[in-house]
Chains A and B, each alone.
Chain A
Amino acid sequence: MTYLINSIQRVPQGFRKVLYFHWPLALLLTAVSSAGFLMLYSVSGGDFSRWAEPQLTRFVMGFILMIIVAFIPIKFWRNMSVAAYIGGVVLLVFVEMFGAVGMGAQRWIDLGFMRLQPSELMKVALVMILALYYDWLDEDQVSKPQWLIPPLFLTALPMALVLNQPDLGTAILLAGGAGVVMLLAGVSLWYFAAAGSSIIAMVGAILQSRGTEYQILKDYQYRRIETFLDPASDPLGAGYHITQSKIALGSGGFSGKGYMQGTQSRLNFLPEKHTDFIFTTLAEEFGFVGGITLLGLYILIIVCCFLTAVQNRNRYAALLTYGVAATFFFYFAVNMLMVMGMAPVVGVPLPLVSYGGSAMLVLLGAFGLVQSAHIHRAR
């Protein structure tokens, strides 16, 4: 190997790229996705063709996409950032006007072979354009207020579009990903402190305004907040999902009830058991051990990304890798907080595990970008 590595040029070319492909990361992604196939097979009650098979097909497609993206130089993707962002925004506006209504929200475009969710695409495009912006911007300028305006606008535009759908979960993930890129780009921590405290103040104001004539949110939105804070107050209504989800998680115990033995999911006590709440079935059937193992796999993926980013001296590539990793982290963290009753139910799927084509393809494509940054980093 020493000879091989020495013989490689600073940036690998041609077949040598295969050697620099981040195989452990690809393996971890496959492992997590496999957990998804396993659980989708289980929640469908042993019907392979219902959810597991399409998911598997999309994983294969996504994996190929990842490899293709990985072997294209990161420079190309850097140059594509603006196009990706503009394309994402255009598609979001498009679903706004023509999108089909699914689950009460306009979220996807029917492409025939799959349903494309532009909001998924937007998560990556936003990270790309912010990484580009901070790559371009002189580092001394990042904390200047006038140079904060463009990234905030770039973030606010797609957030406004997805909130309009309405899709609070995606908006949170967009904000999280953008925030991480800005944080790592070196934006003064005081801005983050100020943003954090103003959010707290706003939440306070929203809760205080209830019942007054200046009431900010609708009544049903307040009820959702109440239900989140105390699910037991409405065990058969809105709190039902959270309560049943906790029951499923808890009843799994240490080692679970066994594969396909989860009564909560099999008897339909769990809501959205193949999408947002799939983690509860996993924890019910494989217990604490299964849950913590999946969490461990997720953390290893983040660690892989961080390790390659830290060694990457290309600012765009590093910021992009961190950004993708952070978005991925927010993905599973918000989902798990949600199903474990520690965050309101906002509709964030469990990445790579929940049933969903767009998320699978976009996530694997995004990891293709991470792979590209890894392969094409200067050594």
Chain B
Amino acid sequence: MKHKKSPTDKDFTSRISRRALLLGSGQLGLAGVLGWRMHQLGVKQADQFRLLAEENRVNIRLQPPARGLIYDRSGNPLTLNRQVYTIEIVREQADDPEEVLRRLAQLIPLPDSQIQNVLAEMARRRAFVPVTVATGLEWEHIAAVSANSPVLPGITPQLGLNRQYPRGADFSHVVGYVGPVSDYDLSQTNDKDPLLLIPRFQIGKNGIEAKIEQTLRGKAGLKRIEVNSVGRVMRELDAQASTPGTNVQLTVDAELQRFALEKLQGQSAAAVVMDVNNGDILALASAPTFDPNKFVDGISVPDWNALNGNKYRPLANKTVQGTYPPGSTFKMVVGLAGLHFGLINERERVYCPGHMEISGRRFHCWRRGGHGNVNLREALRGSCDVYFYELALRIGIERISQVARTLGVGIRPDIPLPAVREGLAPTKDWKKRVKQEDWLIGDTANSGIGQGFVLASPIQLAIMTARLASGTQIEPRLVNMFDDKLEPVRGAEKLEFDPRHLDMVRAGMYDVTNHTRGTAYRSRLKDTVMAGKTGTTQVRAISKREREQGIIKNKDRKWEWRDHALFVGYAPFDNPRYSVAVIVEHGGGGSAAAAPIAKLVMEKAIELGQSGYGPLPSQKRNDLRLREEPT
């Protein structure tokens, strides 16, 4: 080797060493940065990264609880948690999902549209997320699918619980129904329960199911599972069982409810039966009704449109959501107010010529010829309007409404149902506030016969009747027990009214059904004595033209313009047990349309009334079948 400079040259070695020192310190500096970074990540921020690694690793799967069941007073189940077979598909396990679904369609009922839906949903979700293909399958289908599982990769049958309503349409308004949770539901609630985020998790949408949703729902169980980076389950870390929802026993009697609905059939009507002593709601029937089972998996559009477009409004629970002018059934309130405030006594008579002039306007009595001289009892019996015009004017609207509220009209009944209406016991302030008009003397007269602004729901009329019958401030009671916990009877205290005054009103009600000249004499009971009151409320005043054309009979008018028929009553008269309120929308006269139904329902209630409460909900625990773990 020949070099222009010797390799041992001092200059060369010192320069190379100098440069090497420079390089070495540069490298050491970089190594220091590496060490510092390791320290930053692994020591300084270790906790934060440890948490992130744990979040990566652990997934929490919710175990849906079994929903609480609902029973009637005899222990008949009004809801069931039925085991259903569901078929799920996991995209990453199915080589060709479309082909697999096509093969599946030969084994189970699976329309093409559903295949398209499933394919679309799979495309939206990650490859390992199971997507429901079909629900509500029979065991034979599952058996067929299981037998062919080798050619159906990614398909797994699952066992789940589905709500079922064994009483069909009978309790669609009371019990309500559940349905798959929707985005709209989530936007409306501030319920943070993670169960709601499970796709198609069933929540109460109407009735008690909705009102006490959280009581019925139960608590989710948790399963912590370890997943890998694509989310596939590696192993289960720990699990915590779910807590089933609370079972609920209602005060309603399934048999009476069905009977009442049968009697209301074909009409847009409502009937309420209430125990006057403890407030138990025995029947809460609103007709027409609908099949709640159709809602469980989500109702089809044609079904929904049929329900929604029906002029009889089957979706509305008319017993609590429908408010009507109470008409003559309000006359007890006015009569009691008159006695209570000392503005009339039972003997005082008012002359009824068939109409009354009030501030220049003529107010008609329903009986064109008039009732002649009538006292309170006779006025109630014949439902004399003039008597109550006169009486209302003496009392004044404020005091009438005060008594109405004491009896429950205009006060929202405290029962666990959605959209319970308040009704209305009007006051001068109310009209000023809401209508921006002054109260007129004619408004008071109209209120005296339960027309005008007064509004009451059927349940309020039943409460009013129960309070008149029992003389207590009894409150309605729809739930008997939550599991083993008995719901208290509320409102057993005596009303502020003089018992003699109550007796005078009751005497009038007695005559309505038991005096030959009573408006509902034909609807009297055979074995026991029922007291009651009919009501016929005008939906639309008969115009002068119609009067001249002779169109004054209800059946000559359009259905929407016909009068509402009402009846309230209680029985037995001497030892009251049940109150009943019936309203038939646009049914015509109360005595012809409502009272006969009330009579039948009351007879049935008394016939059934011997039976007490059935087994406790807690003893029905075995009815709950726990959802099997999805694997």
Q: Is B516 an interface residue (CB 8 A)?
A: no
Q: Is B110 an interface residue (CB 8 A)?
A: no
Which A218-248 residues have a C-beta within 8 angstroms of B? 244, 246-248
Assess whether A314 is in contact with B7, with CB atoms less than 8 Å apart: yes
Residues of A within 8 A of B229 (CB): 244, 267-269
CA A243 to CA B4, docked complex, whole Å: 55
Q: Chain A binding site: helix, strand, loop or mixed by DSSP?
A: helix
Q: Closest Cβ of chain A: how far from B59's Cβ, in Å?
A: 11
Q: Closest Cβ of chain A: how far from B8's Cβ, in Å?
A: 5
CA A249 to CA B53, docked complex, whole Å: 10
Which B63-110 residues have a C-beta within 8 angstroms of A? none
Q: Is A253 an interface residue (CB 8 A)?
A: yes
Q: Is B198 an interface residue (CB 8 A)?
A: no
Q: Is B228 an interface residue (CB 8 A)?
A: yes
CA A319 to CA B17, docked complex, whole Å: 11
User: Which listed residue, A135, A185, A253, A315, touches B46 by the CB 8 Å rule?
Assistant: A253
CA A249 to CA B49, docked complex, whole Å: 8
Given A250-B42, A309-B20, A264–B31 Cβ distance below 8 Å? no
Q: Is A373 an interface residue (CB 8 A)?
A: no
CA A267 to CA B227, docked complex, whole Å: 7
Interface residue range, chain A: 35 or more
Q: Is A252 an interface residue (CB 8 A)?
A: yes
CA A179 to CA B42, docked complex, whole Å: 33
Assess whether B41 is in contact with A184, with CB atoms less than 8 Å apart: no
Residues of A within 8 A of B11 (CB): 139
Residues of B within 8 A of A180 (CB): 23
CA A302 to CA B34, docked complex, whole Å: 15
Which A153-188 residues have a C-beta within 8 angstroms of B? 180, 183-186
Q: Give per-residue flags for B46-68: 1 if the beta carbon is below 8 A from chain A beta carbons, else 0.
A: 10111011101100000000000
Q: Is A106 an interface residue (CB 8 A)?
A: no
Q: Is A114 an interface residue (CB 8 A)?
A: no
Which B1-55 residues have a C-beta within 8 angstroms of A? 1, 3-5, 7-9, 11-13, 15-17, 19-20, 22-24, 27-28, 30-31, 33-35, 37-39, 41-43, 45-46, 48-50, 52-54
Q: Please choose the segment from A49-57, A84-92, A333-341 that sits at the chain B interface, where 4 or more of its residues have CB less than 8 A away.
A: A333-341
Chain A residue nearest to B230 (CB atoms) is A268
Assess whether B50 is in contact with A250, with CB atoms less than 8 Å apart: yes
Assess whether A250 is in contact with B19, with CB atoms less than 8 Å apart: no
Assess whether B4 is in contact with A333, with CB atoms less than 8 Å apart: no
CA A292 to CA B49, docked complex, whole Å: 18
Assess whether B4 is in contact with A252, with CB atoms less than 8 Å apart: no
Assess whether A333 is in contact with B31, with CB atoms less than 8 Å apart: yes
CA A3 to CA B511, docked complex, whole Å: 141
Assess whether A267 is in contact with B56, with CB atoms less than 8 Å apart: yes
Interface size for B (C-beta < 8 A) is: 47
CA A306 to CA B26, docked complex, whole Å: 13
Q: Closest Cβ of chain A: how far from B43's Cβ, in Å?
A: 5
Q: Please choose the segment from A32-40, A116-124, A283-291, A358-366 that sits at the chain B interface, where 4 or more of its residues have CB less than 8 A away.
A: A283-291
CA A188 to CA B403, docked complex, whole Å: 109
Q: Is A129 an interface residue (CB 8 A)?
A: no
Residues of B within 8 A of A264 (CB): 53, 56-57
Given A306-B24, A313-B13, A252–B42 Cβ distance below 8 Å? yes
User: Which listed residue, B5, B12, B23, B38, touches A288 by the CB 8 Å rule?
Assistant: B38
Q: Is A263 an interface residue (CB 8 A)?
A: yes
Q: Is A304 an interface residue (CB 8 A)?
A: no
Given A138-B5, A139-B5, A340-B37, A253–B16 Cβ distance below 8 Å? no
Given A246-B49, A267-B228, A333-B31, A340–B38 Cβ distance below 8 Å? yes
Assess whether B42 is in contact with A253, with CB atoms less than 8 Å apart: yes
Q: Is B378 an interface residue (CB 8 A)?
A: no
CA A283 to CA B49, docked complex, whole Å: 12
Q: Is A259 an interface residue (CB 8 A)?
A: no
Assess whether B35 is in contact with A292, with CB atoms less than 8 Å apart: yes
Assess whether B23 is in contact with A322, with CB atoms less than 8 Å apart: yes
Assess whether A283 is in contact with B20, with CB atoms less than 8 Å apart: no
CA A330 to CA B338, docked complex, whole Å: 104
Residues of B within 8 A of A81 (CB): none
Q: Closest Cβ of chain A: how far from B464's Cβ, in Å?
A: 64
Residues of A within 8 A of B43 (CB): 253-254, 288
Q: Is A16 an interface residue (CB 8 A)?
A: no
Chain B residue nearest to A249 (CB atoms) is B41
Assess whether A184 is in contact with B16, with CB atoms less than 8 Å apart: yes
Given A138-B4, A184-B19, A313-B13, A337–B34 Cβ distance below 8 Å? yes
Residues of A within 8 A of B53 (CB): 247-248, 250-251, 263-264, 269, 284
Assess whether A340 is in contact with B41, with CB atoms less than 8 Å apart: yes
Assess whether B230 is in contact with A329, with CB atoms less than 8 Å apart: no
Q: Closest Cβ of chain B: how far from A313's Cβ, in Å?
A: 5
Residues of A within 8 A of B16 (CB): 184-186, 310, 315, 318-319, 322
Assess whether A322 is in contact with B20, with CB atoms less than 8 Å apart: yes
Given A184-B19, A318-B16, A75–B1 Cβ distance below 8 Å? yes
Assess whether A295 is in contact with B49, with CB atoms less than 8 Å apart: no
Q: Is B186 an interface residue (CB 8 A)?
A: no
CA A139 to CA B6, docked complex, whole Å: 11
Residues of B within 8 A of A302 (CB): 24, 27
Q: Is B422 an interface residue (CB 8 A)?
A: no
User: Which listed residue, A186, A250, A291, A318, touches B49 by the CB 8 Å rule?
Assistant: A250
Assess whether A326 is in contact with B23, with CB atoms less than 8 Å apart: yes
Given A263-B56, A336-B34, A291–B20 Cβ distance below 8 Å? no
Q: Closest Cβ of chain B: how far from A130's Cβ, in Å?
A: 14
Q: Is A19 an interface residue (CB 8 A)?
A: no
CA A299 to CA B50, docked complex, whole Å: 29
Residues of B within 8 A of A309 (CB): 20
Assess whether B42 is in contact with A313, with CB atoms less than 8 Å apart: no
Residues of B within 8 A of A183 (CB): 19, 22-23
Q: Is A342 an interface residue (CB 8 A)?
A: yes
CA A29 to CA B30, docked complex, whole Å: 21
* Residues of chain B having any CB pair with chain A under 8 Å: 1, 3-5, 7-9, 11-13, 15-17, 19-20, 22-24, 27-28, 30-31, 33-35, 37-39, 41-43, 45-46, 48-50, 52-54, 56-57, 226-230, 234
Sorted nearest first, the 6 A-B pairs with minimum C-beta distance are: A250-B49, A251-B53, A288-B42, A253-B46, A267-B228, A268-B229
Q: 12 interchain pairs (CB within 8 A)?
A: A180-B23, A186-B15, A186-B16, A264-B53, A269-B228, A288-B39, A309-B20, A310-B16, A319-B16, A333-B31, A342-B33, A342-B37
Q: Given known contacts A269-B53, A299-B31, what 9 new A-B pairs fall within 8 Å (CB)? A: A139-B5, A184-B16, A244-B56, A247-B49, A254-B43, A263-B226, A268-B228, A269-B229, A322-B16
